[in-house]
Structure 1
Amino acid sequence: MPYVIAGLVLVGTIAALNVVLLVVILRRWQELEAVRRREVFADGGPQLGDQLPEFDVTALSGRTLSRDDFGAGELLLGVFSHDCPACTDSLPGFTEQAARARASGGRTVALVMGEEAVGSPLAAELGSIADEIVVHPEASGLFRALKVPAFPTFLRYLDGVVTAPAADREPVPAAS
């Protein structure tokens, strides 16, 4: 009987150590995955010096927008997903950047992706921030042309050329 008890204690101790090691390994794996996502995010999508792609979209205001409309001056382009918590959390930063763009004579455009983007609370909030809002499915072509790797993404263009891609936050992978 004492051998059975000793065996059970040994098996229990080994099982507990296994659980502790598993938790440590999973946490480290999550950390490494977060680093990998940030690297992919920084390397993907529009880079400094890239041209604004050709596009022709209709904004919620009814205006037709094209690359020619943004060939001169500053453009802040925000790409969001209607159901992305990180996108909602990024609105104060986007508002700040939009104010700076307007102060320098620039314009702000927001793309809102997702099947329910038209009536989404995010699109409504962006209405008071962006000069123009383009929602899914109208925004899909420009979204694909930009090759945006994550939501939210803010891109600054000067005379149609990327001057500052944003990569200073935890990205949420964008589905194409």
Structure 2
Amino acid sequence: MPYVIAGLVLVGAVALLNLVLLMVIMRRWQELEVVRRRDDFAAQGPQPGDGLPDFTATALSGRTLTQDDFRSGELLLGVFSHDCPACTDSLPDFAERADRARAAGGRVLALVIGAEADESSLTAQLVGPADEVVPGPEASPLFRALRVPAFPTILSYQDGVVAAPSAAGREPVPAAS
């Protein structure tokens, strides 16, 4: 009888250890999946060396913008969705990068995607950090041409060519076409 009890205790301990190891492996697998998904999103969008697509858009300021306005010098381009919590969370980082870009003689452009982008609080918050903000339907053609896969996406252009793309360091929010 003592051998049976010892055997059952041993089997129980091995089963418990197996369960703990399985939980650790599953958690690590989920973390790696988040990283893979973020990398997949970044690989779908603009890549270093891609040029700024042709576009014409009217900014909130009323100014008509074209790709020719941004073909020389540095451009920081932020692409946001008016109803994206990660976009709102990324505003301090975007504002900091915008200040650095302006200090280096660059310009800052923000696109806010969505039917209600004109009246969104996100659009209002971007008016200060960005030199020009293009909301809603006006931003859609450029958004589609950029092939932005996730919100928020911040692109650094140098002389009209992507120098460094980045989806924010958060879980990306898939961008609808």
Give 1:107's aligned amino acid.
Answer: R
What's the TM-score once normalised by structure 2's chain length? 0.82
Contact in 1 for aligned 2:150/2:167 (Cα 8 Å): no
User: How far has the Cα of 1:115 moved from its partner?
Assistant: 1.3
2:92 corresponds in structure 1 to: 92
Amino acid at match of 2:122: L
Distance 1:168 1:132, change over 3 A: closer
Q: After the TM superposition, which parts of structure 1 deviate over 6 Å for at least 4 consecutive aligned residues? A: none
- 1:29 CA displacement: 6.1
Rounded to whole Å, the distance in 1 between the matches of 2:79 and 2:167 is: 13
Q: Cα distance, 1:32 vs. partner?
A: 4.4
Q: Which position in structure 1 is the counterpart of 2:77?
A: 77
Trace 1:9-48 onto structure 2 (pairs within 5 A): 24=23, 27=27, 30-48=30-48
Q: Which one has a larger percent helix, Structure 1 or Structure 2?
A: 2
Aligned mates of 1:138, 1:49 — CA distance in 2: 25
- Deviation of 1:28 after TM superposition, in Å, equals 5.8
Aligned residue in 1 for 2:139: 139
- Determine the structure 1 residue equivalent to 2:151: 151
- The corresponding residue for 1:174 is 175
Which sections of structure 1, spanning at least 5 residues, go unmatched? 1-16
Contact 2:82 2:123 in 1 (8 A): yes
Paired positions, count: 158
State the distance in 2 between where 1:80 and 1:154 align: 9
Name the residue aligned to 2:61: 61
CA RMSD, 1 decimal: 2.0
Letter of the 1:136 counterpart? G
